């Protein structure tokens, strides 16, 4: 349904101006483009935001949890310092202190249990050296 152009209107209209009653193709194309652009920027943002967690995933569990908490704080507070701290923490490997310390604790525990006195045995008698130095005398408990 094509209506004639109003006599006051210019006769050389740009091609994106539609006649009354016709579908505005440019509006539909731009709406689809805007929707795709917003969704893709959101996906890129969240992929970039999850980068520290992906880097820390190969590390230790404690390091991964710290980085995940920092990433969530950065996401909800919009504070980029948390994200940068999480990224740095994910890139720097944390040395493993717990394994050697638990090994030392286990060894000390085994040594202590091997040298523990028997509770059913009588208490040991202390030997005190004599002042003359020739032979030790026994001291008994009274």
What confidence category does residue 3 fall into, taking pLDDT thresholds of 50, 70 and 90? confident
What is the per-residue pLDDT for 141?
A: 58
Residue 137 has pLDDT above 60, yes or no: no
Secondary structure of the chain in the HEC alphabet? Answer: CCCCCCCCCCCCCCCCCCCCCCCCHHHHHHHHHHHHHHHHHHHHHHHHHCHHHHHHCCCCHHHHHHHHHHHHHHHHHCCHHHHHHHHHHHHCCCCCCHHHHHHHHHHHHHHHHHCCCCCCCCCCCCEECCCCCCCCEECCCC
What is the per-residue pLDDT for 134?
A: 58
**Measured distance CA(87)–CA(28) in Å, rounded:** 41
Q: 50 burial class (0-12, 13-18, 19+ CB within 10 angstroms)?
A: middle
Higher pLDDT, 131 or 18: 18
Higher pLDDT, 2 or 62: 62
If you average pLDDT over every residue of the chain, what do you get?
81
What is the per-residue pLDDT for 35?
A: 98
Residue 116 has pLDDT above 80, yes or no: no
Residue 99 has pLDDT above 70, yes or no: yes
Residue 82 has pLDDT above 70, yes or no: yes
């Amino acid at each position: 349904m094509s209506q004639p152009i109003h006599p006051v209107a210019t006769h050389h209209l740009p091609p994106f101006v539609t006649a009354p009653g016709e579908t505005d193709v440019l509006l539909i194309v731009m709406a689809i483009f805007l929707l795709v652009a917003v969704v893709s920027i959101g996906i890129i943002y969240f992929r970039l935001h999850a980068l520290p967690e992906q880097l820390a995933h190969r590390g230790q569990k404690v390091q991964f949890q710290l980085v995940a908490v920092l990433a969530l704080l950065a996401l909800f507070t919009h504070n980029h310092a948390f994200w940068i701290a999480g990224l740095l923490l994910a890139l720097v490997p944390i040395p493993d202190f717990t394994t050697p310390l638990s090994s030392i604790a286990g060894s000390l525990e085994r040594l202590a249990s091997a040298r523990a006195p028997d509770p059913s045995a009588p208490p040991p008698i202390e030997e005190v050296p004599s002042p003359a130095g020739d032979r030790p005398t026994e001291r008994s408990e009274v």
